[in-house]
Amino acid sequence: MWHRVMLTAGAMMLASVPLVAQSDQLVQTPTGTIAIEERASGLNHPWGMAFLPDGRLLVTERVGALRILAIDGALSGPIEGTPEVFVKGQGGLLDVALDPGFSLNRLVYLSFAEPGKEGASTAVGRGRLKNGRIEGFRVIFRQEPKVSGANHFGGRIVFSSKGKLFLTLGERYQFDPAQDLSNHLGTVVRINRDGSVPPDNPFVGRIGAKGEIWSYGHRNIESAALNPYTGALWIAEMGPRGGDELNLPQPGRNYGWPVVSWGRHYNWVDIPDPPTHPRFADAIKHWTPVISPSGMVFYTGDVFPAWRGSALIGGLSARGIVRVITDGQVVIGEERILLDARIRDVEQAPDDSVYVLTDQNDGKVWRLTPRP
């Protein structure tokens, strides 16, 4: 049984404040001063990133490009071999992740909005990074059905401790299909690394249900990470007007969208709160006003010792990092690290510093370190 914890005046709530102007690249937080180093700029809405074993950084741009940021700060041009993508609204090239066996097989996974005759849907594929290009890229999973529209693609890739691939999928702004197991809209799917369906998935063998589905009743999930301390998948999904949610998706559980939500529709029509329908799984935390979560990592390093064990969530509306402080499966506090930019993704670097992507036409890669 998961317990929902709402932050109140008595709970731990911390916020950073600018120490000096943003151009000076310093931010004061309750746990110390942070220096912001610009590692790259000129990216067109960067979306996802993954560190290579040699310290270089793979970065996606929503317009369809995959680039490599060298250790010395040199940024490559778009590398060849990436898929054709649907670039409209929230669609485009999305996340990037390395295969757990990358050091041997050189496999890189990309999620993206895939065009088709009926519209677009989220897909994930893989190819080998070799000689500065992606070779042999092929799609291993595609969300069904393809629909018109340019919103709610989800797209985060997370590998479990057992090597299974989780992919988060938005409901493509279609609402009711998120309650229908015969499609992939508004779901978290779990597949093997080659795209096949694990036999222990919760809906395998159920007539009329997609075997890839792990959990359903989600709205739009652009934030996900594996908790290395527990092995559990954590996700943060965007609510409508209010009601962003932090969830721990369990196999076969229904998270209620669009029947219930902690937010309201954009026309201000109320939506029943989750406790009014106990059959749905509830969030362990929710945010109103929204933070618009995108990207997440659990910090395990030594550079920011006060952050160890926390979930660092990118905030588009929050314009910074939302540090969620946990005790097992319970949220006990929150810190806002204000960066004055829409943060699309967050990663822990090999040297334990923290990297973030800014979501803008002139997108940047920033490296965060403590300032003594």
Residue 70 lies in a domain: yes
pLDDT at position 111 is 99
Q: Residue 264: which CATH number?
A: 2.120.10.30
pLDDT digits (tens, 9 = 90+) for 265-277: 999 999 999 999 9
pLDDT greater than 90 at residue 97: yes
What is the C-alpha to C-alpha distance for residues 103 and 183, in angstroms, rounded to an integer? 35
Closest CA to 191 of 223, 158, 155, 154: 158
Residues sharing a CB contact under 8 Å with residue 144, sequence separation 6 or more, in sequence order: 121, 183, 184, 210
Domain that holds residue 346: 12-371
pLDDT digits (tens, 9 = 90+) for 157-168: 999 999 999 999
> How do the residues of the chain divide into helix, strand and coil, expressed in percent and rounded to 5?
5, 45, 50
Which contacts qualify for 286-289: CB closer than 8 Å, 24 or more apart? 286/4, 286/6, 286/239, 286/243, 286/244, 286/245, 286/246, 286/262, 287/239, 287/242, 287/243, 287/244, 287/245, 288/239, 288/242, 288/243, 288/244, 288/262, 288/263, 289/242, 289/317
pLDDT digits (tens, 9 = 90+) for 46-57: 999 999 999 999
Residue 106 lies in a domain: yes
Q: What DSSP element (H or E) covers 291? A: none
In sequence order, the β-bridge partners of residue 238 are 220
23 pLDDT tier (thresholds 50, 70, 90): very low
pLDDT at position 14 is 62
Active site residues: 152
Residue 2 lies in a domain: no
Residue 4 lies in a domain: no
Q: Are 53 and 361 in contact (CB under 8 A)?
A: no
Burial bucket for residue 35 (CB in 10 Å: 0-12, 13-18, 19+): middle
pLDDT at position 372 is 85
pLDDT at position 16 is 59
Average pLDDT over residues 63-72: 98
> How many domains, in total, are found in the chain?
1
pLDDT at position 24 is 55
What is the C-alpha to C-alpha distance for residues 125 and 134, in angstroms, rounded to an integer? 11
Residue 7 lies in a domain: no
328 pLDDT tier (thresholds 50, 70, 90): confident
15 pLDDT tier (thresholds 50, 70, 90): low
pLDDT, averaged across the chain:
94
Residue 3 lies in a domain: no
pTM of the predicted protein model:
0.94
pLDDT digits (tens, 9 = 90+) for 148-205: 999 999 999 999 999 999 999 999 999 999 999 999 999 999 999 999 999 999 999 9
